[in-house]
């Protein structure tokens, strides 16, 4: 795994300029599309059926998407590898259990906070509020993309 991660890191480093250019441009484009997108009217998807299959389907698809995301897998692999190095010795199952428990607890806490806030304010979110949210998020994403592109321009200037 160490050799594989080193090879991937060197490969990414070799193409860093191209990745930054494409990634920055994509972020600017996605931010622009988010900024101009009209709010989606509330529709049938909001009305869950009586058996709760829409909720179950959403939970299963979100879980599958999360565990198959390569960025997530690499991030946790790097995190676990770096934490093992910071501990100053070979990792143990107790150390790994502590880190996994922290990740699960942090994720559950984030989920609880996010769903609580959405639950409190979802009735107040109308088309005007969604338009404002779309525009704010669009500006933020475009700003991040522009920051990447500016960083790339400064690097070559």
Number of alpha carbons in the 13 Å side-chain half-sphere of residue 72: 9
140 and 34 Cβ atoms separated by less than 8 Å? no
| pLDDT for the residue 29 | 95
Q: Which residues of the chain have pLDDT under 70?
A: 1-6, 9, 42-53, 67, 69-74, 76-92, 96
Taking phi first (over 0 means left), then psi (-120 to 50 degrees means alpha), and beta for anything else, what does residue 41 get?
A: beta
Q: Which pLDDT does position 2 carry in this prediction?
A: 58
């Amino acid at each position: 795994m160490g050799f594989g991660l080193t090879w991937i890191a060197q490969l990414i480093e070799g193409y860093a300029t191209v990745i930054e250019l494409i990634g920055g441009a994509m972020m600017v484009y996605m931010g622009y599309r988010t900024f101009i997108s009209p709010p989606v009217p509330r529709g049938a998807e909001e009305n869950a059926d009586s058996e709760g299959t829409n909720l179950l389907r959403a939970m299963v698809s979100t879980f599958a998407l999360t565990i198959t995301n390569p960025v997530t897998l690499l991030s946790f692999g790097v995190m676990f590898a770096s934490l093992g190095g910071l501990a100053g010795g070979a990792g143990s199952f107790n150390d790994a259990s502590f880190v996994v428990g922290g990740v699960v607890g942090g994720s559950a806490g984030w989920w609880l906070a996010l769903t609580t806030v959405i639950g409190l304010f979802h009735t107040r979110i109308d088309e005007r509020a969604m338009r404002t949210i779309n525009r704010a998020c669009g500006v933020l994403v475009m700003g991040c993309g522009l920051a990447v592109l500016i960083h790339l321009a400064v690097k070559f200037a």
